[in-house]
Amino acid sequence: MNEHSTNERLLPSWRDGATRSALLDFLEATDDIAPENRLAVYDNDGTLWCEKPRYTQLDFFVWQLQQSVEQRPVLRDVPEFAAVLSGDMATVTEFGLPRVAGALLGLFEGIEPEAFESCVRAFFAETRHPDHGLRYDQMVYQPMLELMSELERRGFTNCIVSGGGTEFVRAISQRVYGVPQERVVGTLVSYAFERRDGRAVLLRTTDAQGGVNEGAAKIDNIQIALGRRPTLAAGNSPGDAEMLEYTSTGDGPRLAILVNHDDADREYAYESEAGSFVAAERVTDSADRLGWTQISMRDDWNRIFPTR
């Protein structure tokens, strides 16, 4: 089989064009990357799966809140919960994400990691995306799954570096992405160690360990958790900019990918923003300035979700 026919079989959900060519060029150059340096990192929300109309993890928290309110109606009187349950986004914005997120985290305070994981898995099994009617774990991007699979075939270690909760993503990372739990780097919740009836246990708290995993924090946590500079990084928002820049400015073959959401018909059209800070520069401007490969969901992907 010649090289042309081989390339036609790679990345079948990617349309021919400059973006697919850049990916194929990088794949061809992977033999020049030492095996121990074949590390690829991916943001999750908006890069590997859909983040609209709300973050999946936020919908999980709302789902849990609705169940908790059935058992404890008094929770409706908590101002943050009242705003979330009524869909009063103006009040949610006024309260601020840290305050609302802290209140929602309290729904899981004092439970063990295994119990939290069971809640996450139940959410994915029982709920559907409000606009598309698919399970949330079906709202993953087929072209990115193909890229991850091809890189793994070439000896890469795929890791998820997300602003979302580490344990939330870990609960589904192996099944959905083929990424083991230990390769998920996200925002960390702190745990309390206790002994109960002769058994050592960890219990969730409402404290975030080290803040939100966005911006420069992603680089810190990549070094702490993974110990080396990636050779490929993919993101979609200013919260990923430092990770993309850090990856692209290393030695040897490099690829930094920015996913642009410009397909209102099949997904959504919007400009991605960071979740925890206001960026000084639009992420597309950063991509233009630093030479990252930009993906148009509308023009570069012939399908978006695995089932469509």
Identify whether 306 is part of a domain: no
Identify whether 308 is part of a domain: no
- Comparing C-alpha atoms, which of 273, 285, 288, 270 is closest to residue 240? 273
Contact 229, 250 (CB under 8 A): yes
Mean pLDDT of the chain: 95
Residue 270: domain span: 3-300
Mean pLDDT, range 54-66, rounded to an integer: 94
- Here the tokens at position 90 are 């103006």
Mean pLDDT, range 218-234, rounded to an integer: 98
Identify whether 135 is part of a domain: yes
pLDDT tens, position by position, 154-196: 999 999 999 999 999 999 999 999 999 999 999 999 999 999 9
Find the CATH number of the domain harbouring 56. 3.40.50.1000
Q: Given a cut of 60, is residue 2 above it in pLDDT?
A: no
* Position 32 confidence tier, pLDDT thresholds 50, 70, 90: very high
Give the integer Cα–Cα distance in Å for 231 and 138: 28
Q: 160: Cβ–Cβ under 8 A, 6 or more apart, which residues?
A: 41, 42, 43, 44, 48, 169, 173, 177, 179, 183, 184, 185, 186
- Domain count for the chain: 1
* pTM score, whole prediction: 0.95
Q: Given a cut of 60, is residue 198 above it in pLDDT?
A: yes
Identify whether 305 is part of a domain: no
Which residue reads 């580490």 in tokens? 166
| 138-147, 202-211, 228-237: range with lowest mean pLDDT | 202-211
Q: Percent of the chain, pLDDT > 90?
A: 89
* Position 75 confidence tier, pLDDT thresholds 50, 70, 90: very high
Identify whether 161 is part of a domain: yes
Q: Given a cut of 70, is residue 5 above it in pLDDT?
A: no
Q: Higher-confidence residue: 89 or 300?
A: 300
Identify whether 307 is part of a domain: no
pLDDT tens, position by position, 253-273: 999 999 999 999 999 999 999
Q: 3: Cβ–Cβ under 8 A, 6 or more apart, which residues?
A: none
DSSP state of 255: E
Cross-strand bridge partners of residue 295: 259
pLDDT at 6: 58
Identify whether 188 is part of a domain: yes
